[in-house]
Structure formats: C-alpha cells, structure tokens
Amino acid sequence: MTLTIEHLTKRFQDFLAVDDLNFVAEQGEIFGLIGQNGAGKTTTFRMILNLLAPSSGIIKWADASVHTLDRDMIGYLPEERGLYPKMPVEEQLMFFGRLRGCSKAVLKAQIDDWLERFRLSDKRRALTETLSKGNQQKVQLITSLIHKPHLLILDEPFSGLDPVNAGLLKDAIVSLKNQGTVIIFSSHRMDHVEELCDHICLLKNGKSLFTGAIVDLKKQYGKINLTVRGPFAETELLKLPGVISVLKDKDMYRLLLSAEDDARPIFQTLTKDGFIERFSLDYLSLEELFKRKVASGHA
C-alpha cells in the first residue's frame, strides 16, 4: 500500500497553509515531514485524516481516495495529548482499542505486550494524570498503534521522552515499519529524523523545498564537513584556501569548506610534514542542511 499526495493545497481565506504539495510514502517506509512551526505539517496531517478538506489536490491510498481506507486502520499521535486524566492506564488503552474495533481478548494480550515493552507494567492501574510527562507520552503512543494500523501518523512523538524511553519508541517505530506500516513522521529533532526516515519532505510556509532521500539532499552540498586532529592552530586552519569557518571541539577542529574539492589541497598542506591523527570528510548533518534550506528558502 502507498500514500500518495498530489498537488495538495489548503487555503484559509487569504492564507495559503499548504501550497501544491507532492510526495509518496511507500509501504514499510518512514517518511519525514519536517519544517518550522507553521510550515503546514499539521494542516497536511489533518487533510490526510479527513479532518480538513483540501482546497485542491488529491490524497490517495493505493489507487483510491485515502478516505476509502477503514478509519480503524489509521493511527494518529497528535502533538497535543488527548488522554483522559482520571482514567487508569489499562482502562484507557482498552477504551481506545475498542473504539478502533478490536476485541477485548485481542486487546488484553496487546496491552500486556505494550506495557511490558514500554516498561509501564507497574503503572497499569495508575491514573493517567499521576504519570510523568514521558510516561503519558508512551501511553498516548500505545493508543495510536495498539490496533496495528496500516497508516500511522506521528507528530512530535519524542516530546517529553528521555534518551532511554526515546530508544524504546524508536524500536517500536522500526518494528511497525518492518511489518509494512506506512509511517509519516514529524519532529523538530533532526537527529531522530535522520536516524529513522527513508525519505523526507522539507516544508517552509506550506511549500516543499526538498522531497526525496536524505542522502540526495546531502549530495546537493557535497562533503564539506571536515574534521581534523593534529598539531594545528585555529588561525592557521582559517587561512587555508576554501575554509569558511573553524570550530574547536575538544581535541579536534571542525572545518566548514566552500566545496568538497577544497579537501584535497587542504590534506596535502596539512600532511606535508608527515602523519596527522585524523582527517575525516563528511556530508553536512540533516540539522545543518535544515538550517541552510529554511534560512535561504532555496529549493
């Protein structure tokens, strides 16, 4: 199954929230929809979920409208929590699972499994309002996937999670991906996006600045991140041709180059007196690329 967005546009009177958006999310893929606040991500999610009607464009699931997909086969984790604070955790999960058409017998096993996986077994009878922010987020996530959706939309799923719990969530997301779920993922944490997503769409003011594989975005700029370790001075490195900036990081220096081709003459210069401990050339991180794209607005 595939989710296809074609020329999707949403206008609120004079405000263009989503502008001619196009992308495809394949079965068993994690697709990242990223951008600053107000970029159009949540509006896009709401159109996919049929909570908002597009001004124009098409949203397809396989070869039909996404709205022909059984609603019980969609999972959605909103950025804002939607839990009942006075309801115990286990009862809450049973309630949301039943809303999705799952039987009590199936849900019982699912709930036990997910509570154990997310280390919440001792909280099953606790009122939701008594849980920490991170544990509430884990309960919210379970409600969005306990019915084993075919399409799962995750909006800022790592909010409030410490590194250990974030790791548990990543494992759960990858497990669903491997089972064939189409996952649309949004986060301001570019390290999470880079680690999890196969393809991304980078939005600014409702318009796509880039859609495709992360590695293809990186190749647009080339390998211009250079890390060196050796008996160098920052002032010496700054004078090298092609070096834009130098940042000292503990016992290393991180150099930003004008172009990938600048690396070879720099290597020849730095090694003219013999061995150096480290010379490592790499692409910009997704966070660095995000800042460049959003700041410049160049497609």
Query: Is a pLDDT exceeding 90 seen at residue 240?
Result: yes
Q: Which residue has the higher pLDDT, 73 or 45?
A: 45
Same-domain status, 186 and 252: no
Same-domain status, 210 and 230: no
pLDDT at 151: 93
Query: Is a pLDDT exceeding 90 seen at residue 66?
Result: no
Residue 268: give its domain's CATH number: 3.30.70
Rg of the chain on CA atoms, in Å: 23
Same-domain status, 70 and 212: yes
- Residues 43-58, mean pLDDT to the nearest whole number: 94
pLDDT above 70 as % of the chain: 99
Q: Pull the structure tokens for residue 74.
A: 């969609």
247: which residues sit within 8 A by CB, 6+ positions away?
253, 254, 255, 256
What is the pTM for the complete model shown? Answer: 0.87
Q: Position 52: which residue type?
A: L
Query: Is a pLDDT exceeding 70 seen at residue 297?
Result: no
Residue 165 lies in a domain: yes
Give the distance from CA 104 to its chain's centroid.
32
- Residues 227-256, mean pLDDT to the nearest whole number: 94
Q: Which residue has the higher pLDDT, 71 or 97?
A: 97
Residue 100 lies in a domain: yes
| Mean model confidence pLDDT for the chain | 91
Residue 298 lies in a domain: no
Q: How far apart are the first and last CA of the chain?
A: 29
Same-domain status, 172 and 227: no
pLDDT bin (cut points 50, 70, 90) of residue 120 is: very high
> What single DSSP character describes residue 120?
-
Same-domain status, 119 and 98: yes
- Residues 279, 263: Cα–Cα separation, whole Å: 10
Same-domain status, 106 and 235: no
Same-domain status, 190 and 255: no
pLDDT at 295: 74
Same-domain status, 244 and 270: yes
Domain that holds residue 195: 2-217
Residue 46: give its domain's CATH number: 3.40.50.300
Give 121-163 pLDDT, tens digit per residue.
999 999 999 999 889 989 999 999 888 899 999 998 988 788 9
Number of domains in the chain: 2
Give 97-119 pLDDT, tens digit per residue.
998 888 888 899 889 999 999 99
Same-domain status, 270 and 171: no
Q: Which residue has the higher pLDDT, 63 or 189?
A: 189
pLDDT bin (cut points 50, 70, 90) of residue 296 is: low
Domain's final residue, options 217, 236, 251: 217
103: which residues sit within 8 A by CB, 6+ positions away?
none
Query: Is a pLDDT exceeding 90 seen at residue 275?
Result: no
Domain's final residue, options 217, 238, 264: 217
Residue 212 lies in a domain: yes
Query: Is a pLDDT exceeding 80 seen at residue 10?
Result: yes
pLDDT at 161: 86
Same-domain status, 110 and 144: yes
pLDDT at 299: 44
156: which residues sit within 8 A by CB, 6+ positions away?
79, 186, 187, 188
Same-domain status, 141 and 269: no
Query: Is a pLDDT exceeding 70 seen at residue 298?
Result: no
Query: Is a pLDDT exceeding 60 seen at residue 291?
Result: yes
Residue 290 lies in a domain: no
Domain's final residue, options 217, 244, 270: 217
Same-domain status, 11 and 127: yes
Residue 179 lies in a domain: yes
Residue 105 lies in a domain: yes
Query: Is a pLDDT exceeding 50 seen at residue 245?
Result: yes
Q: Pull the structure tokens for residue 70.
A: 């059984």
Residue 257 lies in a domain: yes
